[in-house]
Amino acid sequence: MKIDILTLFPEMFTGVLGTSILKKAKEKDIVEYNIVNYREFADNKHQTVDDYPYGGGAGMVLKPQPIFDAVESLKQGESKPRIILLCPQGETFNQSKAEELSQEDHLIFICGHYEGYDERIREFAVTDEVSIGDFVLTGGELGAMVMVDSIVRLLPGVLGNEDSPVLDSFSTGLLEHPHYTRPADFNGMKVPDILLSGDHRKIEEWREKESLRRTFLRRPDLLEGYQLTEKQRKWIMEWENEK
């Protein structure tokens, strides 16, 4: 996968992309990162990328020309990259979107700044508008970092255990079950006996039940579109009766 990131602050990405899983993915040649300062595409000697909004108002607006030219320079042959605009008005990013984008060969992220984008960038330059949540950031850089991390870890060969991304919270539609490691007794706080039993069938059932319980208690909204089995319905009825 190739990932291009258009930003006015390329130095922000150095530590993130050069550390941990994202670094390993690059070293394995699974992903290629390319950070582009779109100020370099400005068609004026001062490399200005913003201007006052028509009609007046507070703040400055990103001009279309530098963004359009930067995007065009990154397109390769007949390929059609997904061009993602980081924007508080976009669809909310989630695991499903990460899985969708992880199937692409080429992603281009556009990180905004100032008051906003010229509307023609939204209408004609991008394929997706995405937000990482209902809050406002100074620019799109942090949102791009979050999305890249979430997407790259899903690529085959990136994680040591291929089951890890499949079993993560949200990937299954539920929150992940609790985890424990040694020691089995830490200051009187003990690991559940079932996990020490060696009975893998019962352990898997315990994990399934705890995953569902945690979702039921913490994120019941996730169950609205989830297809429950008969066994899972019985568990939920038990917990509702306990309430």
pLDDT per residue over 35-87, tens digit each?
999 999 999 999 999 999 999 988 899 999 999 999 999 997 767 999 999 99
Of 69, 99, 104, 168, which one is the catalytic site residue?
A: 168
Is residue 88 among the annotated active site residues? yes
Identify whether the C-beta of residue 148 lies closer than 8 Å to the C-beta of residue 34: no
pLDDT of residue 38: 97
Measure Cα distances from 67 to 4, 6, 212, 218 in Å. 13, 8, 45, 41
Of 50, 128, 129, 153, which one is the catalytic site residue?
A: 153
Identify whether the C-beta of residue 107 lies closer than 8 Å to the C-beta of residue 81: yes
**Cα 103 from chain centroid (whole Å):** 13
Strands (E) across 14-170 are located at 32-37, 50-51, 61-62, 82-92, 106-110, 116-117, 128-131
Is 152 known to sit in a ligand binding site? Answer: no
pLDDT of 167 higher than 60: no
Is residue 115 among the annotated active site residues? yes
Identify whether the C-beta of residue 172 lies closer than 8 Å to the C-beta of residue 227: no
Is 112 known to sit in a ligand binding site? Answer: yes
Is 133 known to sit in a ligand binding site? Answer: yes
Q: DSSP letter for 53, please.
A: P
pLDDT of residue 162: 64
pLDDT per residue over 197-236, tens digit each?
999 999 999 999 999 999 999 999 999 989 999 999 999 9
Measure Cα distances from 68 to 41, 187, 188, 214, 233 in Å. 9, 60, 61, 46, 52
Domain(s) of CATH 1.10.1270.20: residues in the chain: 172-242
Average pLDDT over residues 23-30: 98
Domain 2-152 sits in which CATH superfamily?
SPOUT methyltransferase, trefoil knot domain (3.40.1280.10)
Is 136 known to sit in a ligand binding site? Answer: yes
Residue 169 pLDDT class (50, 70, 90 cuts): low
pLDDT of residue 159: 93
Q: Residue 123 and residue 121: Cα distance in Å, rounded? A: 6
Whether domain 172-242 has CATH 1.25.40.10: no
pLDDT of residue 166: 58
Is 137 known to sit in a ligand binding site? Answer: yes
Is residue 64 among the annotated active site residues? no
pLDDT of 16 higher than 90: yes
Average pLDDT over residues 107-117: 92
Domain(s) of CATH 3.40.1280.10: residues in the chain: 2-152
Identify whether the C-beta of residue 145 lies closer than 8 Å to the C-beta of residue 35: no
Tokens matching residue 121: 């960038």
User: Residue type for 3, please?
Assistant: I
pLDDT of residue 239: 96
Of 69, 99, 104, 115, which one is the catalytic site residue?
A: 115
